[in-house]
Amino acid sequence: MSLPIFLHHYPGSPFAEKARLMLGYKGLAWQSVFIPMVMPKPDVLALTGGYRKTPLLQIGADIYCDTALIAEKLEQLQAAPAFFPAQGEGLARTLAQWADSALFWAAVAYSTQPAGMAQMFEKAPPEALQSFAADRKAMASGSTSLRPSDATSAYRTYLDRLVDVLGSAPYLLGDRPCIADFSAYHPIWFTRKQTPALAGVIEERPTLVAWMDRMAAIGHGQSQRSNSQAAIDAARAHTPADVRGLPFQNDHGLALGSRVTVAAESFGTEPTEGTLVAAPPGHYTLARDDARAGRVHVHFPRIGYALRPVRS
């Protein structure tokens, strides 16, 4: 029997929207667990041991951090329809990485200018806006953020480039959506859905609107509401998947079995500590024992994450 798939997310998160659409595209049934938008997140940390970003994919006692790795896992679970085209896979991955970083940050800086924040929080008490702003400021400490006017210039240019890449095709790289479409869609979805007062930059580009409508039509598949306690119980009830047969790419001079931390390179750099149990070419797997979740394996992509030894 296949293990239940949990997605830990909240409705307004752009990267979560990418994950929801990817699940929908693969036609996989999933359990939906809403998590807080800001710290503290004790139930998330029971699973990850430190990583606090959104979303997480959980399959039994395996926790997949970052949508780049979630895409790989979903492709492994369900090969068709594919995220990674046989022809032009490198181009699709490179475009996706640009969209998840440069396009995403331009979209966020543009959409969270004061008019956007006011719209996002119009139905919430003022404390909600204050705690969100303080949480994100702390997460971003050490990184440079775009000023709204510069973000507007970058965003307009990027949207024009997407229109150019689309040409007359239905999707960015041809007749079918690929990973580049899922990555390019979610930052723009954020503007369109969360801050419609600022969505003129999208509406004035009909090619983009038509593509967004096609992406939205993929939907989120079949999901059932669950909760974080049920997810933690599921982790405790299962054993992580066996990783012993995986190839080992040792770029850090660290043997398997070493005590390590893995942390995002920027924005939310809380480390996860554990034992390095696998390091194939694309990702790292850390084993950790949690008082609530039991033995879990936490998986991170290599790109965008720093692996460090724990010195005793």
Ligand X SMILES: N[C@@H](CCC(=O)N[C@@H](CS)C(=O)NCC(=O)O)C(=O)O
Chosen residue from 31, 48, 58, 67 binding ligand X by CB under 6 A: 67
When the beta carbons of 190 and 211 are compared against ligand X, the nearer one is: 190
Least CB distance from residue 112 to ligand X, whole Å?
12
List Cβ neighbours of 160 (8 Å cut-off, separation of 6 or more). Answer: 205
Binding mask 265-304 for ligand X (x = CB under 6 A): --xx------------------------------------
DSSP string, 242-272: P-TTS----SSS--TT-EEEEEESSSS---E
**CA pair distance 197, 305, nearest whole angstrom:** 35
Total residues interacting with ligand X, rule: CB under 6 A: 13
Candidates 72, 54, 46, 60; CA nearest to 288 is 46
When asked if residue 15 is in the footprint of ligand X (CB under 6 A), the reply is yes
Task: Find out whether 284 and 266 touch, Cβ atoms under 8 Å.
Answer: no
Least CB distance from residue 172 to ligand X, whole Å?
18
When asked if residue 53 is in the footprint of ligand X (CB under 6 A), the reply is yes
When asked if residue 306 is in the footprint of ligand X (CB under 6 A), the reply is no
When the beta carbons of 46 and 294 are compared against ligand X, the nearer one is: 46
**CA pair distance 12, 54, nearest whole angstrom:** 10
**Tokens encoding 261:** 């931390």
Q: In which residue are the tokens 């369900």 written?
A: 78
**CA pair distance 277, 311, nearest whole angstrom:** 17
When the beta carbons of 98 and 267 are compared against ligand X, the nearer one is: 267
Binding mask 85-114 for ligand X (x = CB under 6 A): ---------------x--------------
When asked if residue 66 is in the footprint of ligand X (CB under 6 A), the reply is yes
Interface positions, 33-52, toward ligand X (CB under 6 A): 37, 52
When asked if residue 68 is in the footprint of ligand X (CB under 6 A), the reply is yes
Tell me which residue has its CB nearest to ligand X.
53
Return the HEC string of 97-151.
HHHHHHHHHHHHHHHCCHHHHHHHCCCCCHHHHHHHHHHHHHHCCCCCCCCHHHH
Start-to-end Cα distance in the chain: 41
When asked if residue 13 is in the footprint of ligand X (CB under 6 A), the reply is yes
Binding site for ligand X (CB under 6 A): 13-15, 37, 52-54, 66-68, 100, 267-268
